[in-house]
Chains A and B, each alone.
Chain A
């Protein structure tokens, strides 16, 4: 479901098995910056990741529905920039708490993993 661009425009054509819930976390982050429609979520994630992360477009929607089902985000029909009807998602209060907890967990984990990976032979 993820494609990661390595370096400049170099596309890794292999799907990366990212930890489950990573896409959820990215969506929560994207809508936490302001209400977005589905396509907008996609664009924002690409923009913040400086185009290094590309989400397979269709896979975004099941994730959005799941997050809405769980009450982390809420949706509302509105008008898009080009005057078309679009469904906008925003973060709920529960979603905000959830996102903070998830982000903290993620940061702790990457710290631990980075620490392990960076260990030199003499440090063991």
Chain B
């Protein structure tokens, strides 16, 4: 009730400002004239009566201002005046204004950027099965400039086949390929991965299948690609016919849409099977890495990578890397 009447009075006063002003004028004038009439009736001269009425009424402008305040009009007026004043001051001091705007812009920009990273890294879990269990596997060379270096491919094979700690160990390395479609070619970023990649991560394709066991044995023999869900949606219009099984058999390359976030391990286009071509790929996972899933839950301290011997022996052929006695296992970031 009272809230409604307040709102109504405020609205009326704000929207019908001129009417309120003229009504207030009329009301106050009536008051003074009525008082002057009473004075005249009691014998005061006309001029003197008007003068006394004005004096006894008090400052008319002050009364009007207090009246406006009482009706809640001044709130909006004060705000508008303040805003005007602020704008004028900003215009008058362009140096201060530009510094303030720049500070705000940088502050907001930096906050947004940091939050985007934090959101992707900390808050949004990897779109894989039990992402908190995954660990990164490195070669540890304590005291060297690069204490943790990625595994050489033969070392990866050795660890994958002989370690007792992990139920599975995958390898990946970023790469670029040309995508040729409708007579146009386009550079796409891919990740070359080991054939057990999807099994270790526990990720299932939406359509088609992922890699078969043994598909990464012969270099270049199995040019398959698994598309990321985003790529499938954006570049192929979510066309289900893109899967090889639905295509004429002479097609060389097949595509399997794979659902995952586009941020998944920075995969923009999707992984292809690891081609075991040491000449071409430098025989290591230097630009990628390997991740594994422990059989038993492992305890990790934040910031201090736990080391543990994964077992297995180096098959040699990885002269580029000095293998230390133990390999470090650190928490997956």
A contact set with B: CB distance below 8 Å: 37-39, 42, 56-59, 61-63, 65-66, 68-71, 80, 82, 84-87, 94
Contact = CB atoms under 8 A, between A and B. Distances in A.
Contacts of B148: none
8 contacts: A37-B34, A39-B31, A58-B63, A62-B66, A68-B9, A69-B5, A71-B4, A82-B34
Interface in B114-147: none
Nearest to B10: A69
B30 A65 contact: no
B6 A69 contact: yes
B28 A61 contact: yes
Contact of A58 (B5, B6, B58): B58
B307 to A, nearest CB: 75
Task: Describe A's contact surface by its main secondary structure.
Answer: helix
Task: Describe B's contact surface by its main secondary structure.
Answer: helix
A39 B30 contact: yes
Contacts of B34: 37, 39, 80, 82, 84, 86
Contact of A62 (B4, B5, B9, B63): B63
Given A69-B9, A85-B26, A58 B57 contact: yes
A110 to B, nearest CB: 26
Nearest to B23: A87
Nearest to A74: B5
B30 A84 contact: yes
Nearest to A63: B70
Interface residues of B, number: 31
Contacts of A87: 23, 26-27, 30
B50 to A, nearest CB: 14
Contacts of A70: 2, 5-6
Nearest to A82: B37
Contacts of A69: 5-6, 9-10, 70-72
Contact of A65 (B35, B56, B62, B71): B71
Contact of A61 (B5, B27, B72): B27
Contacts, number: 82
B58 A56 contact: yes
Contacts of B62: 58
Q: Which of A58, A70, A86 has most chain B Cβ within 10 Å?
A: A58
A61 B1 contact: no
Q: Which 4 A-B pairs have the closest CB atoms?
A: A71-B5, A58-B58, A62-B66, A66-B70
Contacts of A82: 34, 37
Contacts of A85: 26, 30
Given A37-B30, A39-B34, A71-B2, 7 more contacts: A38-B31, A57-B35, A57-B57, A58-B58, A59-B58, A62-B69, A94-B2
A62 B28 CA distance: 11
Nearest to B55: A57
A58 B28 CA distance: 8
Contacts of B33: 84
A11 B34 CA distance: 23
Nearest to A40: B34
A51 to B, nearest CB: 14
B252 to A, nearest CB: 81
B107 interface: no
Q: Which of A37, A61, A82 has most chain B Cβ within 10 Å?
A: A61
Q: Which of A57, A68, A69 has most chain B Cβ within 10 Å?
A: A69
